[in-house]
Chain A
Amino acid sequence: MANDDARLLLDELSTQLLLCEVQNSSDLQGIMEALRRLEDACTAEHWEIIASTAKQFQVAESLDAIEQLPSLIERLALHCVALERRFFSDPPANAEDDSPTENWGFEPSKAEAPPEAEAVAEAPAPPAPKLPEVSFVMGGTISVEAEQHTGAAIRSVSRNTEEVENMIDFYSEAQEAIDQNERLLLEQHDGGLDENSVGALFRAFHTIKGVAGFVGLTQPSQLAHSTESLLGGVRRGDMSADSAILDLLLESNQCMQALVESVRQAIEASTSVPLDERVDALCERIDAAIAMDGASPAPTSELEPETATSEKKTGTTATQRIPNRSQGSTQIRDTLKVDVGRVDSLVEMVGEMVIVESMITGDEELRNVRSPKLANNLRQMAKITRDLQKIALQLRMVPVRGLFTRTARMVRELSRQCDKPIQFTAEGEGTEMDRNMVELLADPLVHIIRNAVDHGIEHADKREAAGKAATGAISISAYHESSNLVIEIADDGKGLDVEKLIAHGYERGLITTGQTLTETEAHELIFAPGFSTADSVTGLSGRGVGMDVVRKNIKSMRGRIAIQSKPGKGTTFRLVLPLTLAIIDGTLISCGGETYILPTLSILESIRPKRGMVRAPGGHGMVLQARGKTYPLYKLANLLEIPGAKEAPHDAHAIIVESASHSFALQVDDVVSQQQVVIKGLEKQLQSKIFSGAAILSDGQIGLIINVDEVVAAASDKHGQQLLGVA
């Protein structure tokens, strides 16, 4: 993050705090979010970058400001915590406003203040002790008086699946961080802590704190907070990382491990998380170490005793209840982090095994051996191989949840930026997809969502005028359909304006005069490069880039995108993607004795042309007429210089294929079969763009996978035209 950005963020934050514009929990979340970003930017790794950027800008002042950042942030954080407490000590009216609409993202309010939250603590909430007045200077002085609400400290959370899943997420994330910490700490046991390790530990504890706070686990959060403060002191150089500190850190990590373990047990048994007595003592010792060692105690440490005392007042017998899943208990499965390369080679090997297996079971000589035992073993092997393949492919599958959470966060941000209230819903977050596709899908989703918020959803007043709810709705859903993954993004905005689209199309020269477009074709225009329907260019979208990237990315995953839009009702983007990038549904075709593979997803239909359906205007190639449409007809044999293929179209098959630019027909000898094939990449040395990859077929032979988008290009270039006999 450039220092300018950091300053802007800080300025905005301080102004907001100064003006006391913090109205509700969502503002608070915004502040927290900004703080987290700032803090991330200020971790040891980035510190140098920021400092050097600042130096480059030669702004002495800003350099000073930057150096003050960490302490400012900590002060700000303190204020936020104080504010948070104040807000949540209010009758949870604010939280009620937010909770139903925002069931996603980072929400400190979520776990702590659902309206129906029942205090498990038997002890009545003691009168709230006052937080010491804190003031900080940033373009002015502000003092915030904050009340601490202890009742919120220990609460049960609403019982639903999501909460349990959050808990499980906490478990796996914390476990990972703890393991990493342990490794780091043990490595360092002899000498002191080096800077990088301190940074890594700091981040790890910070993560635990954040996640624990999110799911409403107070003790892990409290411990992580203390430890983080300790590490913060070490990082600032306030205290030296001697062996005493190291031991303390190790102890803290072990204690955290115990806490996390008890969370796991609680989730599995659907019981409450017992409070660990050691935590308070340990926190106190950590705080004492900070106070003793630190020449200037870390600002955050002021908060520590408060938390600790309040904890005690509530009583150590109190427990935090784990939300129940309605059906049975939840099992946390142990996870294993494995190098992706290993998984990839495993999947590859299994793919090979499947081929060899089918070669063995299909072997003529073996078939002639009359042995029930052999037959039985072969069947067994076939079954195991299939199962193995299934498992191997599942290894790379991850739920779309992460992607949806990101989307949700973005909708929230955009909705605030555009001042359009939007309700976001996500469905089918558990649907799994290939890990490699998640990243490829992130960009398209950003553009689609941006378009939906910016162009789709109207402003509240316009919506009301149109008789719609003032709050717009955007929903994203994922589900499996045959062997595809479908993701739908729907908004209930104004829909696409076909006339406007066409007018723009003319303007940009994307369509020529006299051309008539169907509604679908008009919708498709938005995917054209350089097309934008925004009346004015906004910061969000309308710069003419975006939707063409969407289609490009989707195509690169061998997927399809379709738009359904009704004026005034909204727009739905439907992405149909293969489940995995490693396997495609292929249609095997033969031509002159050679076998090629076409991705089934790109095939519209396969027909046997009758005489008269194919026309060949002299020297202009051939056209095929089918179902009232005319397609260019390319002979695959000519295109690929295959000898001995069928000549006459009515003897052959014509496959109508949909490519990125347009549809065309491909003449092949025969359609052999459909099967799932494992894609193998082709080396660049082959310089054959017309093939996107290869697959090993069940007889061990290689089938080349035709890249339908390149067929058009190949047919249009000079060489191709020569081959096709076009003058």
Chain B
Amino acid sequence: MPAAPASVSVHSEENAVLAQPGKYLLFQLAGEKYGFPILQVREIISLESITRVPRTSECVLGVINLRGKVIPVMDLRTRFELERIPATEETVIIVLQCELSDRLLTIGAVVDDVQDVTLLRAEHVSAPPLGTHLEDEFIIGIGTPQEGQIIFLLDVDAIIRFDEEGVLRAAGNPSANNPTSENERESK
């Protein structure tokens, strides 16, 4: 339940990260629309042969050879604790890049379908609503480019962040019920 003080502070820092207006790559996952900041997307590649890596976390499908570079590939459905489905023709790998502990990290994320790139203006971006519990650590904003359309804006860093033992942080929000973090978020 309530996490140790140290992790609380870490968590509140994370909440300080909020989705910024800008261009987003939109993709689909189990019927919902998500968006990655376009600046962190390196490329989109088709689902080619993935080399299985035994004894790794469940959401890591394996590694691929991206023009000579060995990069890990993660199943975003598993990461979001959604049901796994067999790959379709639309299934692609979004190659993401982000700086993690001063190192440039490249990682592939398997998604159901990639759609397009949308510019989200400041008025279209809002903070994530409270009370969502599943992926709210990953979701740092809601994009509504037009009425009735909802895009969950994702924090790439949070998705590929790992703890000190090198274990990917579990999905879900360990301190979602923590009043401090919620207050913090409200104040934003």
Seen from chain A, the residues whose Cβ lies within 8 Å of a Cβ on chain B are 348-349, 351-352, 355, 594, 639-642, 680-688, 690-691, 694, 696, 700-704, 714, 719
Asked if B52 and A594 make an inter-chain contact with CB atoms under 8 angstroms apart, the answer reads yes
- Distance to closest chain B CB from A254 (angstroms): 41
Interface flag for B188 (CB, 8 Å): no
- Say whether A690 contacts B107, CB under 8 Å: no
Q: Is the CB of A688 within 8 A of B55?
A: yes
Query: Which of B11-19, B37-45, B125-133, B158-166 lines the interface with chain A?
Result: B158-166
* Contact A686 B63, beta carbon cutoff 8 Å: yes
Question: How far apart are A698's CB and chain B's nearest CB, in angstroms?
Answer: 12
Chain B interfacial positions (CB closer than 8 Å to A): 49, 51-57, 60, 63-65, 67-72, 74, 105-107, 160, 162, 165-168
Most buried by A among B49, B72, B105, B168: B72
- Shortest CB distance A112–B (Å): 49
Whether B56 lies near A702 (C-beta < 8 A) is no
Residues of chain B contacted by A702 (CB below 8 angstroms): 51, 63-65, 70
Tell me the complex Cα distance, A266–B126, Å. 74
Q: Is the CB of A685 within 8 A of B72?
A: yes
**Bound-state Cα–Cα, A628 to B36, Å:** 61
Known: A640-B55, A686-B60, A688-B55. 15 other contacts (CB 8 A): A352-B67, A594-B52, A642-B54, A683-B106, A685-B57, A685-B105, A685-B160, A687-B57, A687-B166, A688-B54, A690-B54, A696-B68, A700-B65, A701-B49, A702-B51
Cβ–Cβ < 8 Å partners of B106 in chain A: 683
Question: Which residues of chain B have C-beta atoms less than 8 A from A694's C-beta?
Answer: 51, 63, 70
Min CB–CB distance B108 → chain A (angstroms): 11
A687 x B69 contact (CB < 8 A): no
**Are B165 and A687 in contact, with the CB atoms below 8 A?**
yes
Point out the residues of chain B lying under 8 angstroms from A351, CB to CB. Answer: 68
Select which of B56, B107, B162 is within 8 A of A688 by beta carbon: B56
| Chain A: minimal CB distance from B42 (Å) | 14
* A641→B166 contact, CB < 8 A: no
Whether A690 and B70, one on each chain, are in contact in the complex, defined by CB atoms closer than 8 angstroms, is no
CA distance A686 to B108 in the complex (A): 12
- A18 CA to B56 CA, complexed, in Å: 68
Q: A640-B54, A687-B167, A696-B70 are in contact. Are A682 and B65 (CB under 8 A)?
A: no
| A701/B51 contact (C-beta < 8 A), A684-B162, A687-B167 known | yes
Known: A690-B55, A696-B65, A700-B65. A685 touches B70 (CB 8 A): no
**Contact yes or no, A685 B68, CB < 8 A:** no
A642→B63 CA distance, assembly (Å): 16
**Complex Cα spacing A540 to B166, Å:** 37
Chain A residues with CB under 8 Å of B57's CB are: 685, 687
* Contact (A348, B68) CB under 8 Å given A640-B54, A686-B63: yes
Bound Cα distance A700, B74 (Å): 20
Residues of A within 8 A of B69 (CB): 680
User: In the complex, A687 Cα to B169 Cα: how many Å?
Assistant: 12
B168 touches A687 (CB 8 A): yes
Q: Pick from A685, A690, A691: contact of B162, CB below 8 A.
A: A685
Chain B nearest CB from A354 CB (Å) reads 10
CB proximity of A570 to chain B, nearest CB, Å: 44
Name the residue on B nearest A350 (C-beta): B68
B contact residues around A690 at 8 Å (CB): 54-55
Most chain B CB neighbours (cut-off 10 Å) among A352, A687, A701, A719? A687
Q: Would you call A682 and B55 a contact (CB within 8 A)?
A: no
Q: Which residues on the A side are within 8 Å of B68 (C-beta)?
A: 348-349, 351-352, 355, 696
- In contact, A685 and B166 (Cβ under 8 angstroms): yes
Nearest CB of chain A from residue B93's CB, rounded to whole Å: 15
Give min CB distance, B94 to chain A, whole Å: 15
Q: How far is the CB of A716 from chain B (nearest CB, A)?
A: 14
Least CB distance from B107 to A in Å reads 6
With contacts A642-B54, A701-B51 taken as known, whether A683 is within 8 angstroms of B72 at the C-beta atoms is yes
**B51 — which chain A residues lie within 8 A by C-beta?**
694, 701-704
A-B contact pairs, 6 of them (CB 8 A): A639-B54, A641-B54, A685-B60, A685-B107, A701-B51, A702-B51
Contacts of A696 in B (CB 8 A): 65, 68, 70
- Closest Cβ of chain B: how far from A478's Cβ, in Å? 32
| A690 CB to nearest B CB, Å | 6
Known contacts: A352-B67, A688-B56, A714-B55. The answer to whether A683 contacts B105 by CB under 8 A is yes
Closest chain-B Cβ to A235's Cβ sits at a distance in Å of 35
In the complex the two chains form, is A687's CB within 8 Å of B70's CB? no
Residues of chain B lying within 8 A (CB to CB) of residue A642: 54
**Would B55 and A701 count as touching, CB distance under 8 A?**
no
Contacts of B60 in A (CB 8 A): 685-686
A349 to B68 Cα, complex, angstroms: 8
Bound together, the chains give a CA A475 to CA B156 distance in angstroms of 55
Across-interface contacts of A684 in B (CB, < 8 A): 162, 166
Contact status B162-A687, CB under 8 Å: yes
Q: How far is the CA of A625 from the CA of B106 in the complex (A)?
A: 45
Q: Provide the residues of chain B in CB contact with A686, threshold 8 Å.
A: 53, 56, 60, 63, 72
Enumerate the 7 nearest inter-chain pairs by beta-carbon distance, A residue then B residue, closest first. Answer: A352-B68, A640-B54, A702-B51, A687-B166, A680-B70, A684-B166, A694-B70
A638–B69 alpha-carbon span in the complex (Å)? 28
Is B65 a contact partner of A685 (Cβ separation < 8 A)? no
* Contact residues in A for B71 (Cβ distance below 8 Å): 683
Q: How far is the CA of A694 from the CA of B65 in the complex (A)?
A: 10
What is the distance, in angstroms, from A691's C-beta to the closest C-beta of chain B? 7
Chain A residues with Cβ below 8 Å from B70 are: 680-682, 694, 696, 702
State how many angstroms separate the Cβ of B56 from the closest Cβ of chain A.
5
- For B105, what are the chain A residues with a Cβ–Cβ distance below 8 Å? 683, 685
Query: How far is it, in angstroms, between the C-alpha of A639 and the C-alpha of B168 when the chains are bound?
Result: 22
**Distance from A445 Cβ to chain B, minimum over Cβ atoms (Å):** 30
Question: B153: shortest Cβ distance to chain A, in Å?
Answer: 22
Taking the nearest CB of chain B, how far is it from the CB of A442, in angstroms?
25
Give the shortest distance, in Å, between B112 (CB) and chain A (any CB).
21
Q: Which residue of B lies closest to A595 (CB)?
A: B51
Q: How distant is the Cα of A680 from the Cα of B70 in the complex, in angstroms?
A: 7
Complex-state Cα separation, A694 to B70, whole angstroms: 7
Complex interface: chain B residues within 8 A of A352 (CB): 67-68
Bound-state Cα–Cα, A187 to B64, Å = 48
- Establish whether residues A685 and B74, one from each chain, have CB atoms under 8 Å apart when the complex forms: yes
Cα A694 to Cα B68 in complex, Å, equals 11
Nearest Cβ on chain B to A187's Cβ, whole angstroms: 29
- Which residues of chain A are near B107, meaning CB under 8 Å? 683, 685
Q: How far is the CB of A206 from the nearest CB of chain B, in Å?
A: 34
What residues of A have a CB within 8 angstroms of the CB of B168 in the complex? 685, 687
List of A residues within 8 angstroms of B166 by Cβ? 684-685, 687
The CA of A456 and the CA of B57, in the complex, are separated in Å by: 49
Q: Which residue of A lies closest to B52 (CB)?
A: A594
User: In whole Å, how far is B71's beta carbon from the nearest beta carbon of chain A?
Assistant: 7
